[in-house]
């Protein structure tokens, strides 16, 4: 605790006088109170001499203490042990401080590296994240250049931490990036659909539109390709003598993380970028369990393409590029035409080539197995001329058209609605109240396949909808705003939540203590010399650095001070009190003499001021 000037006790004054000299203490107090201008030339005694004598007195006193100490061997040994222990503790403290600073510097470097790189994304998938084998020349034409995962995050418009959160492979997690549900299959059973949550869907839309849509595809692929459809897939097989249709078994689950990553590597991307993109586009089978009231998601099996993600169809076309090339070459050598729509393989031929169905099926099975797929044994059909030939649900005997039986049933539905109303009628999987909406959708489908047959059906359904007051939903835009903004790397919503940045690692408490001690030492050095601590631990107040020289000015006759600076009353009273205490320590009479002299000087100054007024 710092005491106010003038409030020192007698013991503290004794300590200060014993460490220096009486003259030095009196000089310090007189300088502090303004009776003796610091740095000014004075006749006797000179300030420098008094200070020098005080320093010599302190040095002599220290030598006397050391001499007294070494006269006693036991005391000297204890002092030596004390000094050695103090030095050892200081070295230990320095070692601990050096270690703490090293750990903190490494933590800061690791924090900075985490902000610039992705170093771990789970067990079994992080081996290639530290690779730097990016070769811009190997990148396919038209694809965006992505040097590292940070460039991927910047292109998506998200932070590196969010990309790490979306791509991390967790065997057990409290959150799931997908919403799972089932739909019935055409052939019986149920199909599991994994719909990505908005945050992951945003990243997948960017991968789809900014990357996969620009990758080259084989011309035999018709599924999920802009400008192609089931109509173009079926048109290649119209009027053929034989049509062969095969189906790939477990098509989406067969495409696992390893194959998807290899396809991104084949596009020319480095190992870290291919790893992140493959993790974004795949997921493992998940079992939802509840433990102690908390819902957890446990991964089961390897990661693979989810049915329901917007990137999955485009990735199947990329992975099957080599399969399409090999099957197209086989078909051309045997005189067949080949197309593929997702997992549906179709071959057709006419003339002599129509008799080579056996060799075709043999080699197709071998090529499909070599590419890592399996032909479904129950879904292989050979359709010859003279019977119904169908490709992807459309008739191809003479032209591409909707099956005649389906059109007959649809016209019967419209006739029944026109005569008896829509109540109790259904079409497809829609309910009773949505029959007109389902009928309008099918009429538009017929118009897409055969415009001359579908246009009258669309007009008829719209007329029925107006008659029965059915609400017609407006056609949705082909690319929603969410997808468009995601492809541009912009947050789809203005209120889109952005995760907070990871805070800096906190330093060790010993570092904070050392910094505080260094700051205190700097503050003391800035205060200037002259504040020498006494034996009692209190600072020797009073010595101030010499003030900057001021321009000479004429003495004021009213004030009567030599330096022209008036003295405040409280300063005079405080100075008299301190001088009285210092003199009384030496002799009571001397203290009384100092008090009388101070009163005389004060009375003289007061009379001079009165006379000046």
The pLDDT of residue 450 is: 93
Q: Are the CB atoms for 417 and 440 separated by under 8 Å?
A: no
Q: Which of 340, 223, 204 is nearest to 280 (CA)?
A: 204
What's the predicted TM-score (pTM) here? 0.69
The pLDDT of residue 47 is: 65
Query: What does the alpha-carbon distance between residue 605 and residue 599 come to, in Å, rounded to a whole number?
Result: 10
Query: What does the alpha-carbon distance between residue 318 and residue 275 come to, in Å, rounded to a whole number?
Result: 16
The pLDDT of residue 221 is: 95
Q: Is 544 left (phi over 0), alpha (psi -120 to 50) or beta?
A: beta
The pLDDT of residue 253 is: 87
Q: Are the CB atoms for 427 and 399 separated by under 8 Å?
A: no
Q: Which of 166, 160, 162, 175 is nearest to 204 (CA)?
A: 166
Query: What does the alpha-carbon distance between residue 203 and residue 158 come to, in Å, rounded to a whole number?
Result: 9
**C-alpha distance from residue 572 to each of 137, 236, 563, 564, 605 (Å):** 88, 114, 16, 16, 11
CB atoms within 10 A of CB 208: 23
Confidence of residue 546 (pLDDT cuts 50, 70, 90): very low
pLDDT at 232 over 90: yes
Q: Which of 432-436, 511-515, 525-529 has the lowest mean pLDDT?
A: 525-529
Which among 31-35, 175-179, 572-576 has the top mean pLDDT?
Answer: 175-179
Q: Are the CB atoms for 524 and 531 separated by under 8 Å?
A: yes
Which pLDDT tens digit goes with each residue over 470-492?
666 555 554 578 888 888 888 87
Q: Which residue has better confidence, 423 or 459?
A: 459
Which pLDDT tens digit goes with each residue over 317-366?
999 999 999 999 999 999 999 999 999 999 999 999 999 999 999 999 99
Those residues whose C-beta lies under 8 Å from the C-beta of residue 393, and which sit 6 or more positions away, are: 230, 403
pLDDT at 45 over 50: yes
For the residues 490-511, what does the mean pLDDT come to?
Answer: 83
The pLDDT of residue 316 is: 95
Q: Which of 352, 402, 360, 353 is nearest to 380 (CA)?
A: 360
Element (H, E) at 191: strand 190-196
For the residues 447-468, what does the mean pLDDT come to?
Answer: 91
Helix axis angle, 149-156 to 271-281, nearest 10°: 50
The pLDDT of residue 587 is: 74
The pLDDT of residue 545 is: 43
Confidence of residue 373 (pLDDT cuts 50, 70, 90): very high
For the residues 101-127, what does the mean pLDDT come to?
Answer: 91
Confidence of residue 6 (pLDDT cuts 50, 70, 90): low
Which pLDDT tens digit goes with each residue over 128-173?
888 766 666 678 878 999 989 999 999 999 989 899 999 999 999 9
Please say whether the dihedral angle defined by the alpha carbons of residues 294, 300, 303 and 306, taken in this order, is positive or negative.
negative
pLDDT at 540 over 50: no
The pLDDT of residue 552 is: 43
Provide the mean pLDDT of the chain. 83
pLDDT at 443 over 80: yes
pLDDT at 590 over 60: yes
The pLDDT of residue 432 is: 63
Query: What does the alpha-carbon distance between residue 563 and residue 395 come to, in Å, rounded to a whole number?
Result: 117
- The DSSP letter of residue 564 is S
Q: Which two tokens stand for residue 593?
A: 């003499």
Q: Are the CB atoms for 212 and 318 separated by under 8 Å?
A: yes
Residue 11, Cβ density class (10 Å: 0-12 exposed, 13-18 middle, ≥19 buried): exposed
Q: Which of 394, 405, 407 is nearest to 238 (CA)?
A: 394
pLDDT at 582 over 80: no
pLDDT at 560 over 60: no
Which pLDDT tens digit goes with each residue over 102-112?
999 999 999 89
Q: Which residue has better confidence, 534 or 421?
A: 421
Q: Which of 54-63, 265-274, 304-313, 551-560 has the lowest mean pLDDT?
A: 551-560
For the residues 64-84, what does the mean pLDDT come to?
Answer: 81
Q: Which of 9-13, 356-360, 381-385 has the lowest mean pLDDT?
A: 9-13
Q: Which of 148-157, 190-199, 587-596 has the lowest mean pLDDT?
A: 587-596
The pLDDT of residue 570 is: 62
Omega of the bond prior to 45 within 30 degrees of 0, cis? yes
The pLDDT of residue 90 is: 93
The pLDDT of residue 214 is: 92
Q: Which two tokens stand for residue 516?
A: 């505080």
Query: What does the alpha-carbon distance between residue 411 and residue 438 come to, in Å, rounded to a whole number?
Result: 13
Percentage with pLDDT > 70 across the chain: 85
Confidence of residue 36 (pLDDT cuts 50, 70, 90): low
pLDDT at 84 over 90: yes
Q: Which residue has better confidence, 567 or 359?
A: 359
pLDDT at 451 over 80: yes
The pLDDT of residue 275 is: 95
Query: What does the alpha-carbon distance between residue 439 and residue 409 come to, in Å, rounded to a whole number?
Result: 11
pLDDT at 528 over 60: no
The pLDDT of residue 541 is: 40
The pLDDT of residue 342 is: 93
Q: Which two tokens stand for residue 478?
A: 């082909």
Q: Which of 86-100, 285-299, 520-534 has the lowest mean pLDDT?
A: 520-534
Q: Which residue has better confidence, 345 or 495?
A: 345
């Amino acid at each position: 605790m710092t005491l106010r000037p003038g409030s020192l006790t007698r013991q503290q004054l004794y300590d200060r006088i014993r460490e220096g000299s009486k003259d030095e203490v009196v000089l310090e107090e007189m300088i502090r109170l303004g009776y003796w201008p610091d740095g000014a030339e004075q006749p006797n005694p000179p300030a420098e001499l008094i200070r020098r004598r005080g320093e010599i007195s302190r040095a002599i006193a220290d030598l006397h203490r050391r001499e007294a100490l070494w006269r006693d061997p036991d005391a000297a040994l204890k002092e030596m042990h004390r000094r050695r222990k103090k030095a050892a503790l200081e070295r230990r403290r320095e070692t601990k401080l050096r270690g703490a600073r090293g750990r903190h510097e490494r933590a800061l470097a690791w924090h900075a590296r985490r902000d610039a790189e992705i170093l771990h994304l789970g067990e079994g998938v992080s081996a290639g994240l530290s690779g730097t084998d990016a070769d811009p020349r190997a990148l396919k034409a038209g694809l965006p250049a992505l040097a590292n995962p940070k460039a991927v995050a910047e292109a998506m418009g998200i932070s590196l931490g969010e990309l790490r959160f979306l791509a991390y492979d967790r065997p057990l997690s409290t959150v799931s990036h997908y919403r799972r549900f089932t739909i019935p299959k055409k052939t019986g059973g149920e199909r599991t659909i994994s719909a990505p949550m908005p945050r992951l869907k945003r990243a997948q839309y960017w991968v789809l539109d900014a990357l996969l849509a620009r990758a080259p595809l084989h011309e035999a692929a018709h599924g999920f390709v802009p400008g192609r459809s089931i109509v173009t897939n079926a048109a290649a097989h119209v009027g053929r003598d034989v049509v062969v249709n095969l189906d790939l078994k477990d098509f989406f689950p067969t495409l696992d993380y390893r194959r998807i990553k290899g396809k991104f590597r084949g596009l020319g991307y480095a190992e870290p970028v291919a790893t992140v993109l493959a993790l974004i586009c795949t997921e493992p089978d998940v079992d939802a369990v509840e433990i102690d009231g908390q819902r957890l998601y446990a991964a089961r099996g390897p990661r693979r393409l989810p049915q329901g993600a917007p990137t999955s169809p485009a990735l199947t076309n990329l992975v099957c590029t080599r399969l399409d090339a090999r099957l197209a070459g086989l078909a051309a050598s045997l005189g067949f035409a080949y197309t593929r729509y997702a997992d549906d393989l179709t071959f057709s031929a006419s003339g002599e080539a129509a008799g080579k169905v056996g060799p075709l099926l043999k080699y197709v099975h071998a090529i499909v197995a070599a590419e890592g797929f399996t032909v479904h044994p129950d879904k292989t059909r050979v359709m010859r001329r003279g019977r119904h030939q169908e490709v992807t649900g459309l008739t191809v005997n003479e032209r591409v058209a909707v099956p005649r039986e389906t059109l007959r049933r649809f016209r019967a539905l419209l006739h029944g609605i026109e005569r008896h109303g829509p109540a109790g009628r259904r079409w497809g999987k829609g309910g009773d109240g949505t029959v007109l909406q389902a009928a309008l959708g099918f009429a538009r489908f017929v118009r897409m396949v055969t415009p001359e047959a579908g246009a009258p059906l669309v007009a008829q359904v719209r007329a029925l909808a107006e008659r029965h007051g059915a609400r017609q939903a407006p056609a949705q835009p082909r690319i929603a705003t969410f997808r468009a903004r995601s492809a541009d790397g912009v947050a789809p919503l203005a209120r889109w939540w952005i995760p907070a940045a990871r805070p800096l690692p906190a330093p060790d408490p010993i570092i904070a203590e050392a910094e505080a001690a260094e700051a205190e030492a700097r503050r003391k050095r800035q205060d200037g010399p002259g504040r020498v601590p006494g034996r009692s631990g209190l600072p020797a107040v009073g010595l101030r650095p010499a003030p900057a020289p001021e321009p000479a000015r004429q003495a004021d006759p009213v004030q009567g001070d030599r330096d022209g600076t008036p003295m405040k009353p409280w300063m005079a009273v405080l100075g008299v009190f301190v001088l009285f205490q210092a003199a009384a320590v030496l002799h009571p009479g001397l203290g009384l003499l100092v008090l009388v002299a101070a009163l005389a000087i004060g009375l003289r100054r007061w009379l001079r001021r009165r006379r000046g007024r």
